[in-house]
Structures are given as C-alpha cells and as structure tokens.
Structure 1
Amino acid sequence: MTEKTTIRLNKYIASAGIASRRGADELVQKGKVKVNGELADSPGIQVDPDNDRVEVNGKLVQHDEKSKDLYILLHKTIETVTTAKDPQGRKTVLDLLPPDVINRRVFPVGRLDFYSEGMLLLTTDGELCNRMTHPKWHLPKIYHVTIRGKLSEKELSVMQNGMYLEDKGELLAPVKIKAISEVGETTKYEMELRQGINRQIRRMFGEFDKTILRLKRVRQGRIELGALKPGKWRELSAKELTLLKKDLKMK
C-alpha cells in the first residue's frame, strides 16, 4: 500500500502561486480558505494534494505536479562538483540530472567533496534544506572509507573520543568508527558523523598520514543509498519523505 504525502495548507497555497506562505496564513485567518467545503481553521493543517479540494475566495486552487516540491536522491560520482554552476567549468551534480528536473530548479542539500561519492539529496524545498544544513538539525551521516593500510587501536580511540585537528585547531565531536573489511593492504571503515565540518573525514585520516582510496556516503538519517548506481537518481518515496520530515521535526 502506497503511503500518502501530505503538506501544510499554507505551503499548498503558496506553491500554487496564490500567495506567499505568510499571505496564505492571512487568507486562512480571514476565513477565505476552505478544504473539502469546510472553513480552514489553521494554516498548518495537512492536505493531500491528490485528493483534497482547496478553495481560496471561492475559487479552486489548482496544484499540479510541477508545483510540488521535488526530493531527489542522487548517487554522486567522483570528480563532480556539488553545486549548480562551476566557474572552472567542471562537471556538476546537476549534469547528472535530466533537463526536466533541472528546470524545476533543484539544488543540493549540503556537500560532498570533488573526490567523494555516494548519496546526495537535492530538492526545491528551501525549508527542508535549511533544516538539514543547520547545526541544530544535523542528521547522522554514514560513510564507507577505504584506506591504504590500517588504523592502530590508539588512532581508532582518538577518533572515537573526539580528536583535535591541528591544521585549523578544531576540536571534533566523537565519531563512531569500525573496520568492516580488509582486502590485501587496504581496510574499509564505516564511520558515523554528526557534525558538518568541511572535509572532516579526509582531514581526520590526514592527521595520521593515512591515504584515503575511496570515500562514499551511504546513509543520511534514515535515508539509504542502497543499490542506486553511480550517476543514477530517484525521487524519495512517500515513506522516506515522511521519515525525513519527522526526524527534522517538520510538520
């Protein structure tokens, strides 16, 4: 059974081009909005874009697919810049998307550096983007990191207990890290981060003179990259979006 996606009434009205969200709030407060024939008593009530009938000043509000926010899960490839445009002319994450999605003006949520790969969220929802990039709402991010050699028990302990980065004098919060496989002279680690420090993982391993061979983000919050191939994308499911907004305390 497919789970329905609902949105706030004020956002529904705003995304249909009737008014800004604040303007939509005022329309509701003035008794100008009805949902399924009933006077709306709050701009925060949830409506189903596919099934609910919303009227403003007696006129039906049309809410087509193009007015809905987009929530994209992309498997970013290496040597791709996490930005909409690059002054150096390098390939960007938008180059991995089709024109009809790009034309909806999606933008990346947070960053993955040039040589890192894995899951990246893109959206047209500014509120969700602001939440996900604000320190207060940082969701845990899981990475798989393959290095040449192996960390010592002491080095693992330093990471797990909060390490100090000498290059810029930053004290990091403790991270969860464990080895998950060893192949020849390489070791793959799984790391869970809850901070948004720039190039944090590369700098952490750099403190111990370890060379990272591959860095891949596989999960953020409860959203997983799964079997999505490099360079491919999909929209978040209704269930994934519901879980994401719940974790971000969004109504």
Structure 2
Amino acid sequence: MERLQKVIAHAGIASRRKAEELIAEGRVKVNGKIVKEQGVKVSPSDKVEVDGIPVEREQPVYFLLYKPRGVLSAVSDDKGRQVVTDYFSEVEQRVYPVGRLDYDTSGLLILTNDGEFANLLMHPRNEVEKVYVAKVKGIPTKESLRTLQRGVKLEDGKTAPARAKVISADKKKQTAIIELVIHEGRNRQVRRMMEAIGHSVLKLKRERYGFLTLKGLSAGEGRELSAHEVKQLRTLATQKK
C-alpha cells in the first residue's frame, strides 16, 4: 500500500506537493470515486485517475548514464537526433533524464521514471553538488576564480557561490582545465559562468553528481543504481543544509 500522492508523483504527473493540491481540488479518483482526503493509501490493484485520465503505475527504476557529447538530454527529438533514452531501449519503463546536460556536454546523468525523486533532486533548495571539469580558452586569474566563488551575475540572476580551481594550464596554447562545483541546474550554467569571467568553454564534462561518479564506465555506458544509492540520494537531497 502506498500513499495516493506518492503514486501520482511516481507516475511523473506532478510533485508530491502538487499531487496533494490535485487531491484537495477533487481532481483525483480512486476506483471511480473522488478522494479529497490526504494520506489515503492505495494498493497496486486500485484504479487511480487524475482529471479522468488513468494513472499508469510502473515499478520505479533508477539509472546512471555516462552521456556522450552530441546526444540530447531528452526522450525524443523531432529532428531525429540521438537522445539519452536510446541507451535504455530495452528498459520496459518510460524513463526520462533528471535535469539535463547540454548537447555538447558529456558526463553523469541520472534517468528514472520516479517523478517525485526527480523533482527532489532538481530542486535548487536541496543543494545536491555537481562537479564539472571544463577546458577553457585562456587561463583564469585568482581574482576570476574568486568571482565564481562569490557568485556571478547572469541575465537570469546571480548564481549561488561555487567552488572553482585550476587543475592545469597550458601557457603555450593558452588553455586551462578548470574544476567547478555548483548545486544549481540552470540552462547552460557552467558555460555562461565561464563566459561571464571572459573564458569560453571548449569542452565540458560532469564528473560527479552528489556522491555518484563515472567510475568503471565509458561514454555511452550506463548502469542501474542500487537501492542503497537511491536511498543515499534521497537523504542527500533532504538533509538540512
């Protein structure tokens, strides 16, 4: 037996909080009857509907993918380009990426069919750390790195403080390898942050998400997350900062 709002969230229809609102508004039916009380539990055999549409209840699954460059963080593409779900064509459940990595960015991406879990990880308030390694034009100064650490003003607002360091620098080619640690997930955020301090990104990879790494994987390979890893991620996202 699971709480009704959790079933709705797992189906990817809405966050758990939004699901509670849908229930309160009388938009949810269980076995043909409107349910407005919070905390009602349903069994796998119960028929759940939201706005008259049956909720398809799937067993939640969780995967980690080493996304290659040149692949879209999407479930489909009208231009026929390769998407991350192509790597999970044999998985029965309809998985989708948690957040996104740009087309030209490689690295660690989580995919799931658990809407509540995805919303939990993506919420900026929950501050799950993401570690990126970027090859950039030019060699950032210590003051430039301090700007990243304090937060950078972008067109959609100032970024939260980040951690940044130069891993290596090639003075001859005038390029550098930078490690940047952030917990937000804005569109093209790392690229925009680096451009804001005068260094365009030549290559970008997400190497870590929370405690998860790409260890043992090559680009295009993935693996299922263990139950323990999923539990750890939930704990990481909900612990008080």
Q: Give the TM-score of the pair, scaled to structure 2.
A: 0.73
1:195 paired residue among 184, 190, 194: 184
CA–CA distance in structure 1, aligned partners of residues 238 and 199 of structure 2? 38
1:77 paired residue among 56, 68, 81: 68
Compute the displacement of 1:88 (Å).
2.2
Partner of residue 210, structure 2: 221
* 1:100-152 residue CA offsets vs partner (Å, 9 max, x unmatched): 21x31001100101100100000011110111122222311111111132101
Identify if the C-alpha distance between structure 1 residues 106 and 169 changes in structure 2 by more than 3 Å, giving closer, same or farther.
closer
Structure with higher Rg: it is: 1
The answer on 1:10 being equivalent to 2:2 is yes
Unaligned runs of 5+ in 2: 9-29, 47-56
1:205 paired residue among 194, 215, 223: 194
Query: 1:102-251 alignment to 2 at 5 Å?
Result: 103-165=92-154, 168=155, 170-183=157-170, 185=173, 186-249=175-238
Q: Confirm or deny: 8 A CA contact 1:218 1:226 kept in the other structure.
A: no
Q: Confirm or deny: 8 A CA contact 2:3 2:41 kept in the other structure.
A: no
CA–CA distance in structure 2, aligned partners of residues 155 and 77 of structure 1? 29
Q: Confirm or deny: 8 A CA contact 1:10 1:25 kept in the other structure.
A: no
CA–CA distance in structure 1, aligned partners of residues 41 and 141 of structure 2? 63
CA–CA distance in structure 1, aligned partners of residues 198 and 93 of structure 2? 43
* 1:215-241 residue CA offsets vs partner (Å, 9 max, x unmatched): 111111122222311000000123212
Partner of residue 87, structure 1: 78
Compute the displacement of 1:67 (Å).
4.8
Partner of residue 63, structure 1: none
CA–CA distance in structure 1, aligned partners of residues 191 and 131 of structure 2? 14
Identify if the C-alpha distance between structure 1 residues 152 and 68 changes in structure 2 by more than 3 Å, giving closer, same or farther.
same
Q: Confirm or deny: 8 A CA contact 1:14 1:24 kept in the other structure.
A: no
Q: Give the TM-score of the pair, scaled to structure 1.
A: 0.70
* 1:180-216 residue CA offsets vs partner (Å, 9 max, x unmatched): 2235633211111022221111111212332312111
CA–CA distance in structure 1, aligned partners of residues 83 and 67 of structure 2? 9
Give the CA RMSD over aligned residues. Answer: 3.1
Unaligned runs of 5+ in 1: 1-8, 34-53, 57-65
SS at match of 1:130: helix
Compute the displacement of 1:91 (Å).
1.1
